[in-house]
Amino acid sequence: MVLQGVFIIVSLFTLLSALMVVTHRNLFISALFLVSTFFGVAALYVLLEAEFLAVAQVLVYIGAIATLIIFAIMLSRGMMQGRTSPYNAQAMWAGIGSVVLGLLLLYVVAFQVDWPVTDAKVPADTISNLGAALVGHYVIPFEVASVLLLAALIGAVMIAREKEY
Amino acid sequence: MNATLFLIPALPFTAFVLIVLFTNQNKKVSAGLTIGTTAVSWLLGWYFAFRAFFSPHEIASEPIRLTIPWFAGGYSVFYTGFQVDVLTAAMLFMVPFLCLLIFIYSVGYMEGDPRFSRFFAYLALFATGMLGFVMADNMLLAFIFWELMGVCSYLLIGFWSYRKPGETHIDHAQVIRARNASLKAFITTRVGDTVMLAGMVLLYAMTGSLRWSEVLSHETLHMLSEKIANVPFFGLTPWATVLAILIFWGAIGKSAQFPLHVWLPDAMEGPTPVSALIHAATMVSAGVYLIIRTFPLFHAVMEGHNGALLFVAFIGTFTAFFAATIGVAQFDIKRVLAYSTISQLGYMFAALGIGAYIAAAFHLIMHAFFKALLFLSSGSVIHAMHHGHHVAHAHGHGDHEEEDHFNPNDMRNMGGLLKKMPVTGWTFIAGGLSLSGFPLITSGFWSKDEILSDAWHGGHMVVFWTLALAAFLTAFYTWRQIFMTFFGEPRTEAAKHAHESPKSMTVPLTILAIFAIAAGWSGIPESFPGLGALVHGWFQSFMGAQAHAIGLEVEHLPFDARPLLISVVLVLSGMTAAWLLYGRRSNVTEHGYVDPLEPALGGLWVAMHNKWWVDEFYQGTVIAFAKWFSHFAYAFDDKWVIDPIVDGVGRFGRWLAVSVRRFIDEQIIDRLVNATAWVSNVVGEWARQIQTGQAQNYLLAILLTVGVLLVLGLGW
Amino acid sequence: MIPLSWYLAVAAVLFVMGFYGVLARRNAIAILMGIELMLNSVNINLLAFWRYVHPTDVAGLVFAIIVITVAAAEAAVGLALFIALYRLRDTVNIDEVDLLKG
Amino acid sequence: MLDPLILGEWWKSFLEGLGLSSGWIILINAVVVTVILLGFGLTSVLFLIWLERKLAARVQDRLGPNRLGPYGLIQTVADALKLMTKEDITPDNAERITYNLAPGLSVFAVLMLLLVIPFGPGLIGVDLNIGVLFIVAMGSIGIMAALMAGWSSNNKYALLGAFRAVAQLLSYEIPMVLAMAAPVILAGTMRMNGLAEAQGGGRWFGLVMPAMFIIYILAALAENERTPFDFLEADSEIVAGYHIEYSGLKFAWFFLGFFLNTLLLASIATTLFLGGWQGPFVKQVPILGPIYYFIKTTVIIAFFMWERATFPRLRIDQMMAFAWKVLVPMGLVLVLAAAAVAKLPVGTALQSVILFVVNVVVLLVALGAIGRHLRKEAERYKVEVRPMPTMS
């Protein structure tokens, strides 16, 4: 009962901030709302008993991604707000389409499918298992991801740096 | 340890590969590789050889084997591998040792040759071939190595044919001669090999196997001797005889026996170490080895006269005498030795022909030693002559005309070299003594005497007397050579300025000289008065084990003075004759050196000097026919058949193409193409409007698609 | 106990919002934010399924972690692209970037 | 005996004695723990401010606060009261919500960390099994606060400060995380208490891995915006950085956050590298744990303050170069070394020795590299010097 109440509050918070993210005219504000959305999601993770992921979420999304985004926004501050409408020509259609899609999805996940839910508990040593799995059974994806990160890092530097020509 | 058998041939091969691929630039390393690997093979080879020496009967009955499955030949898996039995052991005692000595010798001989490393690569490859051949435990593998030897001999005979004229002492004519000689050797031996291949195929067809152990087993041989084949011109013959003769042809080619002997003298164009190793000691004796190896097959047919053995005996005896006659009348120091080689090989075949199995093997080994020695020291002589010639030239003696056609091999240019180069001289004399079969001390005497007494006891009088005569001639031309080369006065500036060769050449000579004299003592027959008691005919009993293993009965001959005395007398008389004709007086007249026999014998001399015109005969008949036939075939094939067909096809193609273009291309295809272009143009004009270049539009489209799919998926 | 479908519903709505952002916003960075939202909703789904269907198997967590990694890489590259774009065309409005217009 | 946990037992039994349901007990406990931690944090900050001023005064040969109370201990309280009474200004074009949110966030981010600091054996707010990760995550929120403050106050200097905040804090977060990873590898756990336990018997990771410890301390200085890394409010360059526009109580919040940060970085250093509450006889007399902890923490804090009062500020490019070209490579090498050594099939003692040697070597190499670089710099500088043009 309590949990459900908490869940409802958290998810409402999350969704509302998400809505602000996509609607707010001021990009900086919506970036801040993005941060709060991330927080909400992290809270959801906690409710899902995935503390590790929650913290990782905070660390990566807020600590790195959101910060980066805000940084970029500041760098290009001049043309962030005002000047032109934040929406493009197809905004209305997009809205309608999105709503329809959302309704469809809700319908599907809520009523159509009944998922094979088990009420097994999360084992206590999940995190150590996770670590073992990351360097054991899932080592290839793990390594690939790290290589991807490195490539992205170098690529970002190469793309963004001032070309002297 | 048995697993290391394969190393014996494999090591020189690795040397070959390494040299050809990597170290071709570095002469020292290349020579080092070849000699080092061969040395290891030599040690291994002697390890196995001595194992055999100490326990001949075990080895003979149960050879050391290393066998692997090779490929599945139809209904039976084809095994291959190496084996060491008594015979192989005897060869393993001789072959790698000679190889090693001669390789070391070559370092000195080939010094300063631009293709030095390549020469050693070939030598290594040849060592592979010979060792593999003697150790192969089946005929196919043996044949492969046999052909490998053929290739090496081809490459090495023609070694100087890649030489640009004037690059060193090789002049243009010699280059041409080398090229022709190599081709001649290759093709002539190929004739024999082809027949042999046929024999091998038939053998496999008959017995379903090529392993010595299986082919030469008693039941197989019995089967072969029972089965009768109807051979054209010869009537009914046991298969054993047929196969034996066919295989023997291979030996004829390889060992330069009478009809196919022509290549060996020309092969002397190759560097002298090559002549010593390949064309005296090892490869040419491979033929003899092959016959010894397959001797049971020859021996299979017991009852009646045995065609195979008769054939072998005839060829051998004839060649022995025939070659000796030619040898008498040659001036080229190496050619004389070449003909003596041919005749000695003839001895061996004759011995085999009369069933003197052990004697043949014995003579094979002994001959290898002293003939290698002779060749090497003759090489040393040539070396010295040619250097002396250069010295003389440098000193201003000797004019340019002489320079151009000066032949360091020609014995007429030599004389009195014993003082100039004592080591070479004495070793050569040792070899000469052994070759001419000087009584009691030399190995040549023991081996040859063995053959002769076998012939005497077997009652093959024709063979005996022919061989005895050949022995006389042998002694004669050997000493003629020695006297012309080493005694008397130097007849040219070159001879005057000749000097001893480097250590790397003289040391092997000395070692070989010891073997050439002493090796024979291992074969003193037990029945020989006095000396026999010392040795008890060790070699006889040793090879006897092998003979016993393959089911030959070897009776120990009682001592008989008659053949011995005859041969001794003939040999001594030959030597004296040589001394009278060449040693006592120098035959220099106003027009150069004149051989005393030339006026004496007249036409016979001319015949012998021109080798009985065998080459010319072949030129006139076989080769001429081959040329004509190939021309005819070329004309038939290309001019009369192929060309018209090709042209017709071409014309038809052109006609077809034209009509296709006119009716199909222009009428149908082109219009289709244009229509396609038009359609795509129109469609594109319309469709380009879809591509707004705005990712978000596309995403919207995706959204709609997903929605629609969802709806469909929900089954509305 | 919270039913699984609630999480899925939240994720779905979050996803749709992100998608709307991607579709409707002009500013590239805003679009990037939308993408991040979508990725988050995906992660919610992954974890929800992990928790409710296979809590003993860490595959869901691993997958989520990989997604986070990819998101980070994507953000870095995306922002770099936008900065380069800003230098080049003096705009980060996606609908002004239509060089591929047919 | 003298085990602070006994208190906890007693408290629990007392609550149960009141016949409350478990849920309520959990709630009450949470509230109590929070109150205790908050109280501890705030009071310690009061003390720290005083300490800083005193130490700085000593270094600069002054007296420092000495009027209110013994040794001017009450001085800080007076300052706090003064700040409260000050006018709270908000710039016109400021982004109000963000502007007001930022100070709170900055304090909140740090306060959260108090949860996972083990003051003694078992004496810890929440012994998260991902404590270290939690710390790192919270650290990233501090950056957010600085950004918000700098951006929202609509002021060039503030914005510059925010930029610098991102640049510096992000850059130094990486060596910091690396430095924190090494003890985690050695201890095999991310639980703060576990980390403290793992350093029993004097096997302090700070002694095993001196280089790592130094990296952490430097990174901590940068994270805490202390000289020589105080670019965020470099008075001589950008007046006061991201909190230039703040005044009164909001400024007090930032101030609070700053000192809390100092405290926490110091206690993290204690827990990760100096064995936390570990010390002689702590097994027998658990009450010694918190005492050891406080001693060590205070020493580190004192070091921070001393060095702040001593050093000048770097150049900003030097700061960045130092992070990326020196600390990060060193950290990577050392983490690798730690991971490798931890896998070695030898006794712990031998592992420690090997690791120590590796650390020393790396440290020397790094110092050598820096020295060569500086010498080159000096050369270049010499070349660039021009004599003053003289009037004639």
The per-residue pLDDT for range D23-61, each reduced to its tens digit, is 777 788 788 888 888 888 888 888 888 888 888 888 888
Structural domain count of chain D: 1
What gap in Å lies between CA D45 and CA D85, rounded to an integer? 20
Q: Are B612 and B322 in contact (CB under 8 A)?
A: yes
Of residues C67, C71, C97, the one with CA closest to residue C82 = C97
The three-class DSSP label of residue B214 is helix
Look up residue B229 and give its DSSP letter. E
Look up residue B416 and give its DSSP letter. -
What gap in Å lies between CA D123 and CA D111, rounded to an integer? 17
The yes-or-no verdict on residue B400 having pLDDT over 50 is no
Q: Are A5 and C4 in contact (CB under 8 A)?
A: no
Confidence at residue B170, expressed as pLDDT on a 0 to 100 scale: 58
| Residue B269 neighbours by CB distance under 10 Å | 27
Contact D133 A29 (CB under 8 A): no
Q: Which residues of C touch A56 (CB under 8 A)?
A: 65, 68
Sequence-ordered list of residues with C-beta below 8 angstroms from that of B296, at least 6 positions apart, any chain: B216, B221, B550, B551, B552
Beta bridge pairs of residue B65: B83
Confidence at residue B651, expressed as pLDDT on a 0 to 100 scale: 93
Please name the helix (run of DSSP H) or strand (run of DSSP E) that holds residue B32, with its range, or none.
Answer: helix B27-54
What's the 3-state SS for B432-444? Answer: HHHHHCCCCCCHH
Best of C15, C16, C22, C91 to disrupt the B interface (most B CBs within 10 Å) is C22
| Residue D156 neighbours by CB distance under 10 Å | 10
Confidence at residue B652, expressed as pLDDT on a 0 to 100 scale: 93
pLDDT tens, D274-319? 888 877 777 777 777 888 888 888 899 888 888 888 888 887 888 8
Of B163-167, C9-13, D156-160, D316-320, the range with the highest mean pLDDT is: C9-13
> Where are the extended beta strands (E) located within B191-283?
228-231, 235-238
Contact A156 C51 (CB under 8 A): no
Q: Which band of pLDDT confidence, cut at 50, 70 and 90, is reported for residue B680?
A: very high
Q: Say how many CA atoms lie within 13 Å of A44 toward its Cβ.
A: 32
Q: Has residue D392 been placed in a domain?
A: no
Q: Has residue D301 been placed in a domain?
A: yes
What gap in Å lies between CA B360 and CA C30, rounded to an integer? 102
Q: Which residues of D touch A2 (CB under 8 A)?
A: 23
Q: Which residue has the tokens 């010639």?
A: B389
Confidence at residue B163, expressed as pLDDT on a 0 to 100 scale: 61
What gap in Å lies between CA D126 and CA D391, rounded to an integer? 72
Q: What mean pLDDT comes out for the span D208-230?
A: 86
ipTM (interface pTM): 0.69
Span of B45-49, B551-555, D239-243 with lowest mean pLDDT: B551-555
Q: What mean pLDDT comes out for the span A111-126?
A: 78
Contact A101 B707 (CB under 8 A): yes
| Residue B423 neighbours by CB distance under 10 Å | 18
Of A55-64, B426-435, B706-715, D87-96, the range with the highest mean pLDDT is: B426-435
Best of A22, A100, A109 to disrupt the B interface (most B CBs within 10 Å) is A100
Query: Percentage of chain B surpassing pLDDT 70?
Result: 94
Please name the helix (run of DSSP H) or strand (run of DSSP E) that holds residue A159, with its range, or none.
Answer: helix A139-160
| Residue A112 neighbours by CB distance under 10 Å | 12
At A134, list the tokens.
């990351």
For residues B301 and A14, which has the higher predicted lDDT (pLDDT)? A14
Sequence-ordered list of residues with C-beta below 8 angstroms from that of D321, at least 6 positions apart, any chain: none
Which residue from A minimizes the CA distance to B715? Answer: A112
Best of B681, B702, B703 to disrupt the C interface (most C CBs within 10 Å) is B703
Confidence at residue A49, expressed as pLDDT on a 0 to 100 scale: 84
Q: Are B241 and B307 in contact (CB under 8 A)?
A: yes
Q: Has residue D1 been placed in a domain?
A: no
Would you tell me the crossing angle of helices D210-223 and D328-343 to the nearest 10 degrees?
140
Q: Which band of pLDDT confidence, cut at 50, 70 and 90, is reported for residue B197?
A: very high
Of residues D312, D148, D145, the one with CA closest to residue D236 = D312
pLDDT tens, B134-175? 988 888 889 999 999 999 999 888 888 776 555 555 567 777
What gap in Å lies between CA B194 and CA B362, rounded to an integer? 29
Beta bridge pairs of residue B373: none
| Residue B161 neighbours by CB distance under 10 Å | 20
pLDDT tens, B345-369? 998 988 888 888 888 888 888 888 8
The yes-or-no verdict on residue D388 having pLDDT over 70 is no
Q: Which band of pLDDT confidence, cut at 50, 70 and 90, is reported for residue B125?
A: very high
Burial class (CB in 10 A: 0-12, 13-18, 19+), B639: exposed
pLDDT tens, B76-94? 777 888 888 888 888 888 8
- Over its C-alpha atoms, chain B yields an Rg (Å, rounded) of 34
Among the partner-chain residues A41, A72, A146, the one whose CB lies closest to the CB of C79 is: A72
Q: Has residue D69 been placed in a domain?
A: no
Contact A110 C50 (CB under 8 A): no
The yes-or-no verdict on residue B402 having pLDDT over 50 is no
Confidence at residue B171, expressed as pLDDT on a 0 to 100 scale: 66
Look up residue B667 and give its DSSP letter. I
* Cα→Cα distances C34→B662, C27, C90, Å: 63, 11, 22
For residue D290, give its domain range.
86-375
Q: Which residue has the tokens 């991607």?
A: C22
pLDDT tens, C53-87? 888 888 888 888 888 888 888 888 888 888 888 77
Contact A69 C93 (CB under 8 A): no
The yes-or-no verdict on residue B399 having pLDDT over 50 is no
Which domains does chain C carry?
Answer: 4-96 (1.10.287.3510)
Contact A94 B703 (CB under 8 A): yes
Among the partner-chain residues B692, B696, B699, the one whose CB lies closest to the CB of C101 is: B692
Contact A88 B696 (CB under 8 A): yes
The yes-or-no verdict on residue A142 having pLDDT over 80 is yes
Confidence at residue B555, expressed as pLDDT on a 0 to 100 scale: 66
Task: Catalogue the long-range contacts made by A40-45 (C-beta closer than 8 Å, 24 or more residues apart).
Answer: A40/A10, A40/A11, A40/A13, A40/A14, A40/A15, A41/A14, A41/C14, A41/C40, A41/C43, A41/C44, A43/A10, A43/A13, A43/A14, A44/A7, A44/A10, A44/A11, A44/A14, A44/C7, A44/C10, A44/C44, A45/C44, A45/C47
Q: Which band of pLDDT confidence, cut at 50, 70 and 90, is reported for residue D4?
A: low
CATH topology of domain A1-81: Four Helix Bundle (Hemerythrin (Met), subunit A) (1.20.120)
What gap in Å lies between CA B497 and CA A7, rounded to an integer? 115
Q: Which residue has the tokens 């435990």?
A: B137
What gap in Å lies between CA D33 and CA B447, rounded to an integer? 115
**Residue ranges of the domains in chain A?**
1-81, 126-165
Q: What mean pLDDT comes out for the span B182-209?
A: 88
Of residues B474, B510, B513, B519, the one with CA closest to residue B365 = B519
Residue B257 region, left (φ>0) first, then alpha (ψ -120 to 50), else beta? beta
* Cα→Cα distances A156→B121, C35, C77, C83, Å: 58, 18, 5, 10
At A74, list the tokens.
């500041």
Q: Are B43 and B92 in contact (CB under 8 A)?
A: no
For residues B583 and D44, which has the higher predicted lDDT (pLDDT)? D44
Confidence at residue D145, expressed as pLDDT on a 0 to 100 scale: 82
Contact A101 B700 (CB under 8 A): no
Residue B209 region, left (φ>0) first, then alpha (ψ -120 to 50), else beta? beta
Confidence at residue D288, expressed as pLDDT on a 0 to 100 scale: 79
Residues of chain D whose beta carbon is less than 8 angstroms from a beta carbon of chain A are 23, 95, 97-98, 128-130, 133-134, 136-141, 143-144, 147-148, 151, 159, 162-163, 166, 170, 173, 190
Query: Chain D: nearest CA to A75, how far in angstroms?
Result: 9
A108 touching B (Cβ < 8 Å)? yes
Q: Are B125 and B152 in contact (CB under 8 A)?
A: yes
For residues B687 and B392, which has the higher predicted lDDT (pLDDT)? B687
Q: Has residue D368 been placed in a domain?
A: yes
In this complex, the chains that touch D, judged by 3 or more CB pairs closer than 8 A, are A
Q: Which band of pLDDT confidence, cut at 50, 70 and 90, is reported for residue B403?
A: very low
* Cα→Cα distances B530→B522, B535, B562, Å: 14, 10, 17
Q: Has residue D196 been placed in a domain?
A: yes
The yes-or-no verdict on residue B401 having pLDDT over 70 is no
pLDDT tens, C20-55? 888 888 888 888 889 889 999 999 988 888 888 888
* Residue type at position B81: G
Q: Are strands B228-231 and B235-238 parallel, antiparallel or unpaired?
A: antiparallel
For residues B549 and B351, which has the higher predicted lDDT (pLDDT)? B351
Sequence-ordered list of residues with C-beta below 8 angstroms from that of D104, at least 6 positions apart, any chain: D253
The yes-or-no verdict on residue D11 having pLDDT over 50 is yes
The yes-or-no verdict on residue A138 having pLDDT over 80 is yes
Contact C14 A15 (CB under 8 A): yes
What gap in Å lies between CA C5 and CA D292, rounded to an integer? 51
**DSSP calls for A80-128:** TSSSS-SB-TTHHHHHHHHHHHHHHHHHIIIII-------PPPPTTHHH
What gap in Å lies between CA C58 and CA C54, rounded to an integer? 8
Q: What mean pLDDT comes out for the span B409-431?
A: 84
